[in-house]
Chains A and B, each alone.
Chain A
């Protein structure tokens, strides 16, 4: 089936710590994206990363499409990094082709 699974569901960090969030996706999903939903509810695009590695400041992401997973790295975390991190991918086949399918998210809390 069409699946996007994220881990861990919850993560608590001390400010300054590093973390890795994981997203596993089924063969029927591709073109991964990572979003950050901030405490005000806005969904912010972090990375569009069908494959390979991208970096943006303290954040970086890697997708290994052949092994069906993506990783989001947060280095030197700050309290403003708190929120929920979602990965999402597009359905590749069938009547739902193109649909953007979301994982359940990782809720990150960074403590000062």
Chain B
């Protein structure tokens, strides 16, 4: 298996633009997590899906952030409009609920200028 695949690996955008981050979980996994990592705050859980349904989105910072999981093999995290303080590394992880071991993608480094 190719593991969790995130795209793009790097994204530089101007303030105010829409940004979409993508994640393909490991085949057969039914839990998916989005995290954000910064030097100041460390790893923050943004949202958690189980069987494509958002279970806990309490970590989503504000209405500018939205996440979807239209099917078991794809999820997006969208920021609209983006702001410089959104600059961070965004990780996606997936796992099987029954076993609950989670595996991380390589992350997307987002820079908003």
User: Number of residues in B with C-beta < 8 Å to the partner?
Assistant: 24
What is the count of residue pairs linking A and B with beta-carbon distances less than 8 angstroms? 57
A42 and B106 in contact, given A31-B100, A98-B100, A100-B93 (Cβ under 8 angstroms): yes
Is A43 a contact of B100 with CB atoms below 8 Å? no
Q: Point out the residues of chain A lying under 8 angstroms from B58, CB to CB.
A: 96
A95 beta carbon closer than 8 Å to chain B: yes
With both chains docked as a complex, state the minimum distance between the C-beta of A56 and any C-beta of chain B, in angstroms: 14
Interface class of chain A by DSSP? strand
Among A14-22, A70-78, A101-109, the stretch that binds chain B is A101-109
Residues in B with CB closer than 8 Å to A43 are 91, 93, 104, 107
Given A31-B100, A33-B101, residue A101 in contact with residue B106 (CB < 8 A): no
Q: Are B42 and A90 in contact (CB under 8 A)?
A: no
Q: Are B106 and A102 in contact (CB under 8 A)?
A: no
Task: Give the interface centre of A45, A88, A100, A104 by most chain B CB atoms within 10 Å.
Answer: A100
Interface digits, A80-94 against B, CB 8 Å rule (1 contact, 0 not)?
000000101010000
Which of A43, A96, A98, A105 lies at the interface centre, i.e. has the most chain B CB atoms within 10 A of its CB?
A43
Q: How far is the CA of A4 from the CA of B48 in the complex (A)?
A: 18
Contact assessment for B102 and A100 in the assembled complex, using a CB-CB cutoff below 8 Å: yes
State the A residues within 8 Å of B (CB): 31, 33, 35, 41-43, 45, 48, 86, 88, 90, 95-102, 104-105
A-B interface, 9 closest residue pairs, ranked by CB to CB distance from nearest:
A48-B101, A43-B104, A31-B100, A102-B43, A96-B56, A99-B48, A100-B102, A90-B100, A99-B56
> Which residues of B are at the interface with A, using a C-beta cutoff of 8 A?
31, 33, 42-43, 45, 48, 50, 55-56, 58, 89, 91, 93, 95, 97, 99-104, 106-107, 109
